[in-house]
Amino acid sequence: MKYVFKVVTVVLTLGFQACMQDHLPITHLVLQPDATTGKDALFSSGSPTTIYGNVQDLFFSAVNNTKPVVGEAISRSAVQFDLTSIPENSTIQEAYLYLYFNPTSPYLSLGGFNTGHVGQNDFFVQKTITPWDESTVTWETQPQSTTVNQVSVPAATSPTQNYVIDVTKLVQDMVNNKAANYGFFMRHQVETPEKVTFIASSDHPNAALRPKLEINYVVK
């Protein structure tokens, strides 16, 4: 009889703990930094030593290039959000990355891409795994990324499409090891011409178009 009582007690205790976890308070966090607090940059093989950390664009592309050398130019981009306010023992319930089309990109007219996104532009959102600095990063010094928990984003259905991307697993990885949080890395799935995804950066004059990260989390 004592044995039965102990088993029932354990079951009730575990059930109570599970119930408590189901009712933990949810914290909603919205991050949409500006040019001063934001960290993002693009880097291009067409200009491998040029720094693009303070431009209004965060596009990624694969185009036929004529300057400085004739050939195919590939561009990629990275963006990092400050997650230090989230305790490391938190469970990320959901996290969404918002990337907005940049209607004022100077490259729209320079490249002849006046309508917006170009080509079969499906892309990956990956986790950046090495440090980088937006004031110095170039194509030649671009950070590395990993395919672990990468998110596959389908091609745009509109030339001016905005993106809302579920990055829950990636953010959980970042929170689990915040010392190695170097942000997100964006690149086209197939980096051959012609394709461009025009995204606004944190330096964009329109605050509503800057990259945004929304997170719901609970502290264990």
Contact by Cβ (8 Å): 85, 207: no
Give the burial class of 131: count Cβ atoms within 10 A of its Cβ; 0-12 exposed, 13-18 middle, 19 or more buried: exposed
Lookup: tokens for 77? 């981009």
Beta-ladder partners of 42: 52, 77
Q: How many CA atoms lie within 13 A of 147 on its CB side?
A: 3
Lookup: tokens for 9? 């007690």
d(CA 214, CA 174): 14
What's the sign of the alpha-carbon dihedral 132, 137, 138, 141?
Answer: negative
Q: Which of 196, 163, 165, 171 has its CA nearest to residue 74?
A: 196
Residue 93 CA, chain-centre distance (Å), reads: 17
pLDDT above 70 for 11 = no
Give the CA-trace dihedral at 146, 178, 163, 156, to 10 degrees: 0
Count other Cβ atoms within 10 Å, centred on residue 120: 13
pLDDT above 50 for 19 = no
State if pTM tops 0.95.
Answer: no
| Domains of the chain with CATH codes | 25-219 (2.60.120)
Report residue 22's pLDDT band, with 50, 70 and 90 as the boundaries. low
| Model confidence pLDDT, tens digit, residues 178-217 | 999 999 999 999 999 999 999 999 999 999 999 999 999 9
How confident is the model at residue 1, as a pLDDT? 40
| Model confidence pLDDT, tens digit, residues 63-74 | 986 544 445 799
Q: Please state the length of the chain.
A: 220
| Model confidence pLDDT, tens digit, residues 118-150 | 999 999 999 999 999 999 999 999 999 999 999
